[in-house]
């Protein structure tokens, strides 16, 4: 009887924590959605869904000549897609080398990855600005991609390396006996088995350009090259007289590509291990 009561209390505590976390996440999202449906410019409404709700602000974002929202959206999608793909390709190769090979400086390289994560990004902003200015990539989306890929390399490579270390080396040895080379082992055995962690890397690197404001603020100067975070900030700061309802509509639409990528990668998170083991 006591065991049953204890199990119920533990289960109730878990559900309570999950409910509180859900409320903390869902409330600001529902509040932002409510603001975006408000036809006026007020931040407040009597109910969660305004009585006279309207899609006026969403229509304005896509149809009004004064709105650069579609341009910002295109820039952000380009940066996010290239960053995600380049990060997966580069990180998987670096992690494979550190996980499967012994070479001079390997241990110090791993220590360097850990050390680089101890310093805040703000410390390198001046150096990043000067570096991009020297190579001619200042005020360029490609410069932004370069910083995103390079900046995320240490942490991502360390995570993927840790995952690859859990894959038995016996699979490598068996493939070598069958005549497989290093590249084939990497492409046909380790990559399929590493799909779950690579999917996480791809998702996080895809999300970063949508969420980041500080780096685009420092690097980008031309309005036609703004990303969504930077564009929406200027959108409410000076150009459109602090219209937070339109800002809310633009912010809600940021979730659409992120949700689509998550749904696409979800199957790799679930089936990656079993599928990779079958191919191996």
pLDDT at 273 over 50: no
d(CA 210, CA 169): 38
Question: Does the pLDDT value for residue 157 go beyond 60?
Answer: yes
pLDDT higher than threshold 70 for residue 1: no
Residue 187 lies inside a defined structural domain of this protein: yes
Regarding predicted confidence, which is higher, 267 or 273?
Answer: 267
What lies within 8 Å, CB to CB, of 280 at 6+ separation is 171, 175, 188, 189, 192, 193
- What is residue 173's predicted lDDT score, i.e. its pLDDT? 83
Residues with Cβ within 8 Å of 242's Cβ and at least 6 positions away in sequence, in order, are 236
| Mean pLDDT, the chain, whole residue set | 84
Domain count, the chain: 2
Range of the domain at 36: 2-54
Same domain, 117 and 169: yes
Q: Is the pLDDT of residue 79 over 80?
A: yes
Please give the backbone phi and psi of residue 160, each rounded to the nearest 5 degrees, phi first.
-70, -40
* 100 shares its domain with 24: no
pLDDT confidence bin for 274, thresholds 50/70/90 = very low
Report d(CA 268, CA 280) in Å as an integer: 16
Q: Are residues 49 and 83 in the same domain?
A: no
What average pLDDT does range 245-250 have in this prediction? 86
5-26 average pLDDT score:
85
DSSP, collapsed to helix, strand or coil, labels residue 13 as helix
Query: How much is the pLDDT for 2?
Result: 67
Question: What does the pLDDT look like over 192-211, one tens digit per residue?
Answer: 888 888 998 999 999 999 98
Token digits of residue 122: 């703000």
Share of the chain above pLDDT 70, in %: 90
Q: Is the pLDDT of residue 190 over 70?
A: yes
Is the pLDDT at 95 greater than 80? The verdict is yes
Please say if the pLDDT value at position 77 is more than 90. yes
Is 250 found in the same domain as 195?
yes
Q: Tell me the CB-side half-sphere exposure of residue 274, using CA atoms within 13 A.
A: 5
11 and 91 inside one domain: no
**Does 60 fall in a domain?**
no
Same domain, 74 and 182: yes
Which percentage of the chain shows pLDDT scores above 90? Answer: 21
Residue 59 lies in a domain: no
* Six-digit token string for 153: 């390399």
Same-domain check for residues 12 and 122: no
Q: Is pLDDT at 117 greater than 80 in this prediction?
A: no
Average the pLDDT over each of 4-18, 44-58, 163-177, 240-254 and give the range with the smallest value. 44-58
Mean pLDDT of the region 154-181? 85
- Pick the range with the lowest mean pLDDT from 42-46, 127-131, 177-181: 42-46
CB-neighbour burial class of residue 248 (10 A; exposed 0-12, middle 13-18, buried 19+): buried
CATH code, domain with 85 = 1.10.3720.10
In whole angstroms, give the CA distance from residue 127 to residue 113: 19
Most confident of 78-92, 101-115, 123-137: 78-92
More confident residue, 159 or 86: 86
Query: For 3-17, 155-169, 219-233, which range has the lowest pLDDT when averaged over its residues?
Result: 3-17
Task: Establish how many alpha carbons lie within 13 A of residue 205's alpha carbon, considering only the half-sphere containing its beta carbon.
Answer: 33
- pLDDT at site 266: 83
pLDDT(142) > 90: yes
Considering 7-21, 57-71, 72-86, 161-175, the range whose residues carry the highest mean pLDDT is 72-86
């Amino acid at each position: 009887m006591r065991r049953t009561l204890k199990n119920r209390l533990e289960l109730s505590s878990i559900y309570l924590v999950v409910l509180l976390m859900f409320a903390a996440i869902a409330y600001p999202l529902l509040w932002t959605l409510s603001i975006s449906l408000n036809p006026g410019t007020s931040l407040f409404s009597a109910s969660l869904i305004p009585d006279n709700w309207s899609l006026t602000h969403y229509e304005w974002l896509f149809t009004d000549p004064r709105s650069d929202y579609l341009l910002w959206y295109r820039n952000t999608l380009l940066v996010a897609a290239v960053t995600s793909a380049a990060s997966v390709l580069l990180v998987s190769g670096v992690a494979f080398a550190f996980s499967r090979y012994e070479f001079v400086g390997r241990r110090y390289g791993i220590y360097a990855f850990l050390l680089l994560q101890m310093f805040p990004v703000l410390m390198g902003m001046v150096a990043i600005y000067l570096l991009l200015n020297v190579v001619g990539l200042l005020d360029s989306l490609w410069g932004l991609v370069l910083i995103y890929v390079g900046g995320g390399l240490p942490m991502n490579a360390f995570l993927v390396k840790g995952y690859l270390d859990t894959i038995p080396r016996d699979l490598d040895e068996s493939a070598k006996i069958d005549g497989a080379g290093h590249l084939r082992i990497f492409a046909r055995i380790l990559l399929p088995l590493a799909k779950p962690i690579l999917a996480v890397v791809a998702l996080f690197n895809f999300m970063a350009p949508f969420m980041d404001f500080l780096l685009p603020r420092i690097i980008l100067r031309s309005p036609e090259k703004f990303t969504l975070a930077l564009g929406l900030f200027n959108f409410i700061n000076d150009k459109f007289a602090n219209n937070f309802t339109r800002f809310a509509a633009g912010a809600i639409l940021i979730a659409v590509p992120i949700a689509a990528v998550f749904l696409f990668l979800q199957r790799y998170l679930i089936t990656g291990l079993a599928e990779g083991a079958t191919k191996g």
